[in-house]
Amino acid sequence: MAPGGALTATGVVAVVRGTRADRVADVLDTLAAAGVRCLEITLNTPGALDALRAAADRLPDGTELGAGTVRTAAEASAAVAAGASFLVAPDTSGDVAAVARDHGVAYYPGALTPNEVARAWDVGATAVKVFPAGAFGPRYLRDLRGPFRDVPLLPTGGIGPRNAADYIAAGAVAVGAGGSLIGDALDGGSLPALADRAARLLAAVEAAR
């Protein structure tokens, strides 16, 4: 399965991870209104599955909703049942890959080393999440692209409006942006500021393509 249309169209996955549930819907709505079309809610965010169900009925057509931090087959099945069209993880699991394959949803497993990238691709990754990308930088991603030109790479971790273009230029199919994008929005921070960060991130990615 090729990476989803929203992922390749905008080049951004917004990673929504928080410690409270009451602002998740507002954050998702703000991101979607700003033009982000690939939204990941991590399963360790309170109320993640309920947020997925609600957002699937509310957000604009063309928005892809996914679940993050999916590490077991049971979590994967629950996420798909809640409406996730893609599954993201910090690691690689053959069991999660099987659930994704059986349900026809995208799977973005985490990997860092060449051996881990190869394994993630071998188990059926749609794209490989290079994590934590920020610890190694765009040059490391460019080096990985050398032997893995057939593997779509999705760097995540430490990426925001200021450095996203560098990862796209290094060969990323898209970038995953969490804390640098979301900021304090899930804890009551400014939603207009979140919208501004999202717009700047999308513009930076588009300019680098």
Q: What is the pLDDT of residues 18-47, one digit of tens each?
A: 998 999 999 999 999 999 999 999 999 999
**Both tokens of residue 96?**
């999660």
> Per residue in 122-181, pLDDT tens?
999 999 999 999 999 999 999 999 999 999 999 999 999 999 999 999 999 999 999 999
Q: Is the pLDDT of residue 187 over 80?
A: yes
- With CA atoms as reference, report the closest residue to 36 among 134, 164, 169: 164
Token pair recorded at residue 4: 């989803």
Annotated catalytic residue within 64, 116, 129, 206: 129
| Alpha-carbon span 82 to 69, nearest angstrom | 15
Active site residue 75: no
Contact present, 12 and 38 (Cβ < 8 Å) = yes
Pairing of strands 12-16, 175-177: parallel
